[in-house]
Amino acid sequence: MTQLLEGKVIIVTGAGGGRGAKGVGECIALEAARLGAQVVVNDLGKLESGQSTAEVTTEAIKADGGQAVACLESVATWTGAEKLVQCAIDTFGRIDGVVNNAGILRDKIFFKMSEEEWDLSISVNLKGCFNVARMAAPHFKNQNSGAIVHMTSSSGLVGNFGQANYCAAKMGLVGLSKAIALDMERFKVRSNCIAPFAMTPMVIAGVPNQTEEDKARWRVISRMKPENIAPFTCALLSDQAADISGQIFGVRANEIYLFNHTRPIRTAHSGEPGWTAESVIDRVFPMFKPSFFPLERSMNVFSWDPA
């Protein structure tokens, strides 16, 4: 029986293993290989022993009878992304899919955030996704096929405290994905986003666990496993998802979401000579106010225990 991803070459960034808790990228790489894909495992991490985390995942795939190669290039640089895609071509002869999963947290309340903390987050969480997708795009275009899955976040889609850099990058990723979907549609290349909910090494290292609110957040997140993200991601990479592009999904334990896109929800019109500041205050603000979105964090919207 043919496996779902048999014959496909998939790059998974941020897919290193061996760090105790499993990561989303690690689980996706393992699942893609189990489904027949040849996997390029990308990660910069190293364990205390000096072993590459990318090699840990690669070895696990090979031990299970799969095919994989480790690549330690940085997605945050143009040349690193170029070498990553070339690694797929040199090793397996083609590229069929990219999972832009690599990410970092540099949380800080906005008025204390440094330029370095901003730039580093944007360079990995947004620019890194552009770099890898851009390097894969000519190959996808030439073969008239390809799939890209970007990992966004409810922090960007909804909002979160102390994450201006991360929120901006993850919301920017939604715009990038839609632009790729539109530009590459004629070449049968698709681009989608997933907001994953999972307890991962990045969350453990980067999310505070001091206040009662923090601890309540941890209690919910700890019940969400990174393994839950992999099946849906692999389904999007398959030929059976060839007509799905430009969408935003969420995966939270055994729940799968489809997010809406920003569209006008109320309109106000004025005859000539148009609006004045005073008439906006008198008419528009009161008209729109019942439809304003509350200032919420992700946990306010996803407040129930995961199924």
What residues are labeled active site? 166
Burial annotation 48-64 (CB, 10 A radius, 16+ → b, else e): eeeebbbbbbbbbbeee
Give, rounded to a whole angstrom, the gap between the first and last alpha carbons of the chain. 32
How many residues in the chain? 307
- Answer for the pair 56, 47: CB distance below 8 angstroms, yes or no: yes
Asked if residues 229 and 27 have their Cβ atoms less than 8 Å apart, the reply is yes
Residue 233's closest CA among 11, 57, 69, 64? Answer: 11
Q: How far is CA 286 from CA 139, 215, 280, in A?
A: 52, 38, 9
Written as six digits, the tokens of 250 are: 């969420």
Residue 29, Cβ density class (10 Å: 0-12 exposed, 13-18 middle, ≥19 buried): buried
Shortest CA distance to 102 belongs to which of 72, 79, 62?
Answer: 72
**What is d(CA 294, CA 21) in angstroms, rounded to the nearest whole number?**
35
